[in-house]
Amino acid sequence: MKGRILVAYATRYGATREIADHLATTLRESGLEVDCRAMRELRTIDDYRGIILGAPFYYGRWPRPARRFLNRFGPVLAQRDIALFAIGQIDPSQSESDTRSQLDRLLDRYAWLAPFSVALFGGRWNPAALRGLDRWMLKLPGSPLHVLPASDLRNWDAISGWATDVAAALNARTAQPYPSTAEPTGISRAGATLSTIRNYIADQQLPWRTPRAR
């Protein structure tokens, strides 16, 4: 199990899960042993040498399942080979550079993750599939999503290309065993102390009230 790769994702309406499944298939075709699991289902990640994290981001924050995952496993993630993908654009009129700048600002706050590769993909927007609070918010006259038509901006060629690059990078890395908890130095691969990591993640568990569908 020490050589296995994990694709861990957070999703609300399935678009991120579909990307995660596609990535996992590509990694397996490259000879890697891969598990693909929702973040909320995971109870341990100790046995994985590499982890690919995937989630949509909303107004500069990860959704709650992703923040909880980071809160629970941050010190272990800080010792692993990490790649990361995000879904951030559902409006065709929004520029990719603007969405990327939002993601960069978010990742600056999670610098201790030190991912060796980061990808930003378009998302899927289907107002007819919204439920609960999301559907209610869509009906608000002042909502910017009120007149946004359904769209799917996921570029599967780009997703496949990134998956191939990540697979090559993981295959090139030594499948060495990693500690299940912090190294004796208490320092992450990015140089942050593990106490700093824990304190920062705890600060991210504030209420979040601006859902958008991905």
- Name all domains of the chain by residue range, CATH numbers in brackets: 4-203 (3.40.50.360)
Q: Which tokens belong to 71? A: 């809160």
The pLDDT confidence band at residue 130, using thresholds 50, 70 and 90, is low
Residues with Cβ within 8 Å of 25's Cβ and at least 6 positions away in sequence, in order, are none
Residue 212 has pLDDT above 80, yes or no: no
Residue 206 to residue 214: CA distance in whole angstroms: 21
Q: What is the pLDDT, as a whole number, of residue 213?
A: 42
Q: What is the identity of the amino acid at 18?
A: E
What are the strands, taking DSSP E only, across 44-199? 48-56, 81-89, 117-122, 124-125, 151-152
Q: CA 63, 86, 130 angle in degrees (round to 5)?
A: 50
The pLDDT confidence band at residue 102, using thresholds 50, 70 and 90, is confident
Q: What is the pLDDT, as a whole number, of residue 166?
A: 97
Burial class (CB in 10 A: 0-12, 13-18, 19+), 48: buried
Question: Cα(first)–Cα(last) distance of the chain, in Å?
Answer: 32
Could you tell me which residues are beta bridge partners of residue 122? 89
Q: What is the identity of the amino acid at 2?
A: K
**% of the chain at pLDDT higher than 70:** 62
Q: What's the DSSP call for residue 113?
A: G
Q: Rounded mean pLDDT of the chain?
A: 77
Q: What is the pLDDT, as a whole number, of residue 184?
A: 41
Summarised one tens digit per residue, pLDDT across range 43-84 is 999 999 999 999 998 666 788 899 999 989 988 998 899 999
| Prediction pTM value | 0.74
Residue 33 has pLDDT above 90, yes or no: yes
Enclosing H/E stretch for 9: strand 4-9
Alpha helices (H) in 109-175, listed in sequence order: 132-138, 156-172
Summarised one tens digit per residue, pLDDT across range 162-200 is 999 999 999 998 655 555 444 444 555 555 555 555 555
Q: What is the pLDDT, as a whole number, of residue 135?
A: 54
Rg (C-alpha) for the chain, rounded Å, is 17
22 vs 153, higher pLDDT: 22
The pLDDT confidence band at residue 159, using thresholds 50, 70 and 90, is very high
